[in-house]
Amino acid sequence: MMKNLVSVVITTKNEAKVIKKLLETINGQSYKPIETLVVDNKSTDNTKRIAKQFTKLVYDKGPERSAQRNYGAKKAHGEYFLFLDADMELQEDVVKECVELVSNRKYSAVIIPEDTYGKGFWAKVKTFERSFYTYDKTVAAARFYPKNIFLKLGGFDESITGPEDWDLSGRAEKIGELGRTNAYIRHNEEELNFWKLLKKKYYYAKKTHRYLSKNNISAVSPKTIFFLRSSLYKDPKKIIKHPHLYIAMWLMLSAELIAGGIGYVSSKK
């Protein structure tokens, strides 16, 4: 029996250091057939050259990730869409499990759990933080959608940058239950720079007010205030076993909260 095509849409901008590994893990998926589309936003490194070694479907589009993803969906031929960032890597059964969940259980979309790895102390701290979020619906967002559901929802909201995953996933959950795979996505944090992390939080927070107002979410909620995420307190054994990482995590989250708060307030002036 012929299987339905899955279209994997990857957004890129200067991702030459990480994209090859992602493309290799896509090629190594246990599910076939898959087409891979790379939508690049004015990279000045070798991102596009590397991508073209794996797929002919390489496009140029900006200005932000939401527009890139929607463009990739328009160019895709699959019955299912999987949206990824270039610094991700897939366990071999990710696509297989996603297809099975929407085919057998008729989920409207599928969440793929994520963990991280990288070099240096702050990458280790970020990995530790994300280990608390495996089953936290506050943080997780779907990445896999049947084409008909994606089109019904109207795709990503291009006025939102940063929380666009949460926005689309939340709309999908209103029309059907979200599934969750056992297979993981891994984030390659590389050599995580503390100040770069804060800069990223500041940038995305400047775009957050649109998401919050659209979805009637308070600026003081688990979506925005890390301290309100109950999952960060639910594993005392992990906390006791790694007290130095737990303390460092809260220092990092506090700094991110301040950076995000400054970005959010500055965007409303």
pLDDT of residue 101: 95
pLDDT score at 28 = 97
Higher-confidence position of 267 and 44? 44
Domain that holds residue 254: 6-267
Note the pLDDT tens digit of each residue in 92-143: 999 999 999 999 888 999 999 998 888 889 989 999 998 898 778 778 899 9
Beta strands at 185-191 and 88-90: parallel, antiparallel or unpaired: antiparallel
186 in any annotated domain? yes
Q: What is the bridge-based pairing of β-strands 185-191 and 114-119? A: parallel
What are 189-204's pLDDT values in tens digits? 887 888 888 888 888 8
Output the domain CATH number for residue 229: 3.90.550.10
Domain membership flag for residue 69: yes
The tally of domains found in the chain comes to 1
Across the beta sheet with 114-119, what order do the strands follow?
A: 88-90, 185-191, 114-119
Which of the 8 DSSP states describes residue 157?
-
Q: What is the pLDDT of residue 26?
A: 98
The pair of three-digit structure tokens given for residue 95, joined into one six-digit string: 């696509």
* pLDDT at position 268: 64
Report which of 114, 255, 141 is spatially closest to residue 197, judged by C-alpha positions. Answer: 255
Least confident of 181-185, 217-221, 245-249: 217-221
pLDDT at 245: 95
Q: Count H helices, E strands: the chain? A: 11, 10
Q: How far apart are CA 240 and CA 140, in angstroms?
A: 25
Domain assignment present for 1 = no
pLDDT digits 0-9 by tens, 143-167: 999 999 999 999 999 988 888 999 9
Which tens digits make up the pLDDT trace of 38-92?
A: 999 999 999 999 999 999 999 999 888 999 999 999 999 999 999 999 999 999 9
User: What is the mean pLDDT of the segment spanning 234-246?
Assistant: 94
